[in-house]
Amino acid sequence: MMRCLVERALTMRIAKLQSVCEWAGVEPVVPLPGSKLGLAIRSLGSGPIHGLRHPPTGDTNGWYIWCGELSKADDFFSPLHVEHLAEYVPLAVEYLALPPGYRFLIDGGNFEDVWFDSALLEV
């Protein structure tokens, strides 16, 4: 029992020493400096943090980030330069190198999920 707990703690510590892309087994695709993402600023603090990445187009990097429930309102997302995300959602910054087609869900505590969603590439 004790050995199992020690191995689990060690595995968790090793996992945190990896980048999110290393942990997910993908090549990083870092957003270009000055590129924009969509951030639902009014949703911040209303629940877990969600992020999804479409393919980049124009001056956008494909990222959309929100908390809690997703809204279809036209003004739900506001454009934000990628360099300013840390001011609003610092926990999301380490996920930004995930390539297009990836999503993440974190709660700021112990829950973290990263997965590929091919539908995100079909926009």
The predicted structure's pLDDT at residue 123:
81
Consecutive 10-residue averages of pLDDT for the chain (123 residues): 41 62 93 97 94 97 97 96 96 97 91 95 90
The predicted structure's pLDDT at residue 69:
94
The predicted structure's pLDDT at residue 14:
46
The predicted structure's pLDDT at residue 16:
58
What is this structure's pTM?
Answer: 0.84
Range of the domain at 38: 2-121
Q: How many domains is the chain built from?
A: 1
Residues 95 and 93: their CA atoms lie apart, in Å, by 5
Interior/surface letters 67-103, b for 16+ CB within 10 angstroms, e for the rest = beeeeeeeebbeebebeebeeebeebeebbbbbbbbb
The predicted structure's pLDDT at residue 80:
98
The predicted structure's pLDDT at residue 113:
93
